Amino acid sequence: DSSESLNFIEQIVAEDLANGLPKENLRFRFPPEPNGYLHIGHAASICLNFGLGNKFNAPVNLRFDDTNPTKEEQEYVDAIKNDIQWLGFQWAQECYSSDYFQQLYDWAIELIKKGKAYVDPQSAEKMAEQKGTPTTPGTPSPYRDSSVEENLEIFDKMKNGEYPAGAYVLRAKIDMASPNMLMRDPLLYRIVNKPHHRTGSEWCIYPMYDWAHGESDYIEQISHSICTLEFKPHRELYDWFLDQIYDDNKQRPKQREFARRNLSYTVMSKRKLLQLVESKTVSGWDDPRMPTISGLRRRGYTPESIKKFSEVSGITKRDSVTDVSLLEFCIREDLNKTATRVMAVLDPVKLVITNYPQDKVEMLEAENNPEDPKAGTHEVPFSRELYIEREDFKEEANSKYFRLSLGKEVRLKSAYIIKGESVVKDENGNITEIHCTCDLDSRSGSGTEASMRKVKGTLHWVSIAHAVKAEVREYDRLFLDEAPDSHEGKDFMEFVNPDSLNIIKEAYLEPFLKEAQLEDKFQFQRLGYFTLDKNASAEHLIFNKTVGLRDSWAK
Ligand code: ATP
Ligand code: MG
Ligand code: MG
């Protein structure tokens, strides 16, 4: 039964089809406001709307909801298009609410002529006061019954820039006693004396969201206008506006709502993300700690992992918070299948194999991915002097320590079994070199009896003479609190984690990584998953840690 795999929005569409909606009438849209970069919450909406398009083989428009020139910019338009395409979706038409400004204006004139809209010069405070409360009816504005001629004349002057911002608004005349406060004569237009990123200074009055949104859906002949739950009370207004302009020969869009995606340990509103950018708490919208699509991408997330996350967190009818560890689980699963295994040492200490010939270099074969035999192998140079992690050695250790210590054996990954022999220290007692001997018959894959010998513990390493130096950036959560923006009386900025970025200036990588390209994914063995940063160059390699190998977050 295919309906089992449909989410509740898809079921609504399937029912409409079953009730006679012609399949060719199906049309969806994703409607971002270009006032910031897309975040992981938007990804839910993108996956839902483009998912509807895929499932029902119907077009999906990308509609920029660009009705507020004070916050919108071309940079955001470009970033949004880029992110959607990177996720792997393609819109049917690129649309802009601003392309409909003339049509919206013409319809507003019709409303005035029908006595269903009026201009109001009162202050915002005064109008709010007159609205009353949900349990008491509002008071009609003294301008509610101005004549059509007067309204038309003033609205024309508003349009022509004859008034300063705030001098007048245009309001719909609906019902000042409605139990739905949004129906108590809502605003249609306000004066904003700011150039628009697309229409320049052509307009100085701009339509409000509610007026623009449903009518834009209607113009594009969208069948299902999907939005988040907070718009549920707006549905009545959405329908009222459509009633005013609706033509029987055309399709009438319907609004349906689903729950917003929230994620723990972060904030998701664009306004708050902008605050993080402007306060330089992060390096930009695509800082790898940001919950933006571009930040996640730079961090090493794949489109598949983000789509998987959207799928497993589901489309729901009630607001909830998804734990960020689920997002991390999705990327870990994906990278485990696809990332190339390499070796890197982040906190190096020198290891000398005293019985290995001085000038010998062996090219050893390393498996690219044990999960994928087709991934092949690459070569890793091995020599007498290596780096290993400082924390992989202890002079003395008990039997539960499976790393290197004096008198004990471990295997060097893809190479030999070695035994700790002695250490060299500086005047402060810090270890500067570890000396060991190696079982020269034990090379991995050589087929000898010694090569099959089991020892507890395998260490990663790099050959000092061949290693490439790199900067490695490790990230922790950007906020220390699970729900940073839900504490009354406290600003979310108070919960910023001061130690969310750790920069390792001198890490050493096997030389294979010199060839790394942007978006290549690697597992640094035993350390986690890493990807090249966008600012890396051949002279200055920079890797970002995407996620650790295991869920290391204390429960
Ligand atoms: P923000 O408060 O982050 O600015 P928004 O809803 O104002 O969010 P829009 O650009 O208007 O941002 O959103 C475009 C579409 O994405 C809308 O349909 C919106 O409902 C949806 N959307 C935004 N945030 C989320 C979220 N957290 N979960 C699911 N859908 C979302
Ligand atoms: Mg919005
Ligand atoms: Mg918004």
Out of 222-226, 245-249, 356-360, least confident range: 245-249
Q: Which CATH number fits domain 270-340+470-547: 2.50.20.10, 1.10.1160.10, 3.30.70.380, 3.30.450.20?
A: 1.10.1160.10
Give distance in angstroms: CA of 69 to centre of ligand 2: 14
**Residues 402, 406, 407, 410, CA torsion sign:** positive
Residue among 435, 218, 467 nearest 343 (CA): 467
Report pLDDT for 321.
92
**Ligand lying closest to the C-alpha of residue 269:** 1
Q: Which residues line ligand 1 (CB under 6 A)?
A: 31-33, 41-42, 44-45, 65, 227-228, 260-261, 268-270
Give distance in angstroms: CA of 276 to centre of ligand 3: 16
Whether residue 50 has pLDDT greater than 90? yes
Domain boundaries for CATH 3.40.50.620 within the chain: 2-258
Report pLDDT for 320.
86
Active-site residue among 10, 27, 29, 33? 33
Catalytic residue check, 421: no
CATH architecture of 2-258: 3-Layer(aba) Sandwich (3.40)
Give distance in angstroms: CA of 74 to centre of ligand 1: 18
Give distance in angstroms: CA of 32 to centre of ligand 2: 7
Give distance in angstroms: CA of 41 to centre of ligand 1: 7
Whether residue 1 has pLDDT greater than 60? no
Share of the chain above pLDDT 70, in %: 99
Catalytic residue check, 33: yes
**Ligand lying closest to the C-alpha of residue 274:** 1
| Section 199-203 average pLDDT | 96
Report pLDDT for 551.
76
d(CA 316, CA 444) in angstroms, rounded, equals 51
Active-site residue among 63, 270, 341, 411? 270
Residue among 466, 458, 462, 444 nearest 386 (CA): 462
Provide CB contacts within 8 A for 22, sequence distance 6+: none
Whether residue 195 has pLDDT greater than 90? yes
**Ligand lying closest to the C-alpha of residue 80:** 1
Strand 377-382 and strand 362-367: pairing?
Answer: antiparallel
Summary mean pLDDT of the chain: 96
Report pLDDT for 555.
38
Counting ligand 1 atoms within 8 A of each CB, the residue from 28, 29, 35, 45 with the most, and so the one to mutate, is 45
pTM for the full predicted model: 0.95
Residue nearest to atom 25 of ligand 1 (CA): 41
Domain 350-459 listed as CATH 2.30.40.10: no
Neighbours of ion ligand 2 (CB under 5 A): 33
How does DSSP assign 289-325, residue by residue?
Answer: TSSBHHHHHHHT--HHHHHHHHHHH---SS-EEE-HH
Active-site residue among 55, 260, 419, 477? 260
Report pLDDT for 552.
61
| Section 142-171 average pLDDT | 98
| Section 99-128 average pLDDT | 98
What atom in ligand 1 is closest to the CA of residue 271?
4
Whether residue 113 has pLDDT greater than 50? yes
Residue among 447, 388, 395 nearest 412 (CA): 388
pLDDT in tens, 363-417: 999 999 999 989 999 999 999 999 999 999 999 988 889 999 999 999 999 999 9
Catalytic residue check, 23: no
Domain boundaries for CATH 1.10.1160.10 within the chain: 270-340+470-547
Write the CA distances from 234 to 38, 172, 181, 183, 209, integer angstroms: 23, 14, 10, 9, 10
Domain boundaries for CATH 2.40.240.10 within the chain: 350-459
